[in-house]
């Protein structure tokens, strides 16, 4: 087990999130969340240690033990940003499939992580990835509101899709940002956009055109003022495209991993063998226009039609997707 000492308020929020994630079927295979919470004590009886580790660090002057909680979770591995794969035992398609299964289960149960990056994916000694840190998550897509979706303008973060960056930036005309400035940041200044072009074979002009097409879609459907996004417009975007928020992020992490591992010839051979199956999936997950983007359920079904997650939980979702496309 690994534990952390945090404030009572933060711990209560994080532990409640863990309780929600633990209601997702097969959660241990795909996620790592806190499993126990306790009040720290300077000393604990032996029978209590198995439930919660004793406090090892001192408190600052004036701090009281009952202002803190210890959260514990099982050790799940090393973050994707630091893991060193043994390529002799690494199966790229199996790794991608497992990530998509986790993403599909979140989507099917209405959970949106919103912050899936390499440090929020851990990989165990068997090369099994798990998603962690749900503190920014929306645990029920039906409960979201515009202020919950809004965040600091961060166009460089690869886990954020172009449409999310644009709608967030224009939400109430944040910091006076205008559409052309935001698109310029995404297309010409964002390093991950260059990686997309390299892996997926997309030109800068193509990606810019797709962003413009998305913006035209939003303007025609919802926006009267081309420079401002009000609460209701932000929510129209979310309600239409929320399943693609995490699918973009998962696709982005896979592309980042491919770029990193391509330094080794052994991986290049592996990727080239998987490319005919994998490339269409990546193009779907990271489609610039969200109308063309796959969610994780759709991507998993295409990559592995007989997948157990699809068979048990995803059939009606896919039927609804076909009916609405």
Question: By the 8 A CB rule, do 15 and 2 touch?
Answer: no
Q: Is 70 exceeded by the pLDDT of residue 12?
A: yes
**In the chain, what are the domain boundaries?**
1-75, 141-324
Mean pLDDT, the chain, rounded, equals 88
- Specify the pLDDT at position 16: 86
The pLDDT of 277-301, averaged and rounded, is: 98
Question: By the 8 A CB rule, do 167 and 217 touch?
Answer: no
Helix or strand (DSSP H, E) at 220: helix 204-221
Q: Which of 50-59, 181-190, 212-221, 299-308 has the lowest mean pLDDT?
A: 50-59
Question: By the 8 A CB rule, do 86 and 18 touch?
Answer: no
> Tokens in use for 279?
């490339």
Task: Return phi, psi of residue 44, to 5°.
Answer: -135, 150
d(CA 302, CA 279): 12
> Tokens in use for 1?
């087990």
Beta bridge partners of 4: 71
Higher-pLDDT residue of 312 and 177 is 312
What are 223-254's pLDDT values in tens digits?
A: 665 556 778 889 999 999 999 999 999 999 99
- Specify the pLDDT at position 261: 97
Q: What is the pTM of this model?
A: 0.90
The CA R_g of the chain, rounded to the nearest whole Å, is 21
Task: Return phi, psi of residue 121, to 5°.
Answer: -125, 125
Candidates 144, 263, 165, 269; CA nearest to 207 is: 165
* Strand, helix or coil for residue 112: strand
* Strand, helix or coil for residue 304: coil
């Amino acid at each position: 087990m690994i534990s952390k000492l945090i404030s009572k308020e933060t711990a209560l929020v994080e532990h409640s999130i863990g309780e929600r994630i633990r209601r997702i079927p097969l959660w241990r295979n795909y996620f790592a969340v806190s499993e126990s919470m306790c009040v720290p004590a300077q000393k604990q009886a032996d029978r209590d240690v198995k439930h919660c580790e004793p406090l090892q660090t001192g408190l600052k002057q004036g701090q009281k033990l009952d202002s803190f909680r210890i959260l514990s979770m099982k050790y799940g591995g090393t973050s994707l940003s630091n893991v060193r794969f043994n390529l002799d035992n690494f199966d790229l398609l199996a790794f991608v499939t497992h990530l998509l299964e986790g993403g599909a289960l979140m989507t099917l149960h209405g959970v949106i992580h919103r912050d899936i990056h390499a440090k929020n994916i851990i990989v165990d000694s068997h090369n099994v990835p798990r998603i962690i840190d749900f503190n920014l998550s929306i645990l029920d897509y039906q409960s979201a509101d515009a202020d919950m979706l809004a965040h600091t303008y961060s166009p460089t973060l690869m886990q954020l899709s172009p449409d999310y960056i644009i709608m967030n930036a224009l939400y109430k005309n944040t910091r006076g940002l205008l559409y052309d400035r935001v698109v310029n940041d995404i297309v010409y200044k964002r390093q991950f956009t260059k990686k997309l072009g390299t892996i997926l074979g997309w030109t800068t002009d193509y990606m810019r055109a797709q962003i413009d097409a998305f913006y035209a879609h939003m303007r025609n459907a919802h926006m009267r003022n081309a420079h401002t996004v009000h609460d209701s417009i932000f929510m129209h975007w979310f309600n239409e495209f929320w399943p693609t928020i995490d699918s973009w992020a998962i696709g982005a992490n896979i592309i980042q991993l491919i770029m990193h591992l391509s330094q080794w010839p052994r991986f290049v051979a592996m990727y080239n063998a998987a490319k005919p199956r994998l490339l269409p999936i990546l193009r779907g997950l990271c489609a610039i226009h969200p109308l063309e983007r796959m969610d994780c359920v759709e991507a998993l079904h295409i990559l592995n039609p007989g997948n157990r997650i699809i068979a048990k939980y995803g059939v009606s979702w896919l039927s609804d997707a076909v009916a609405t496309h």
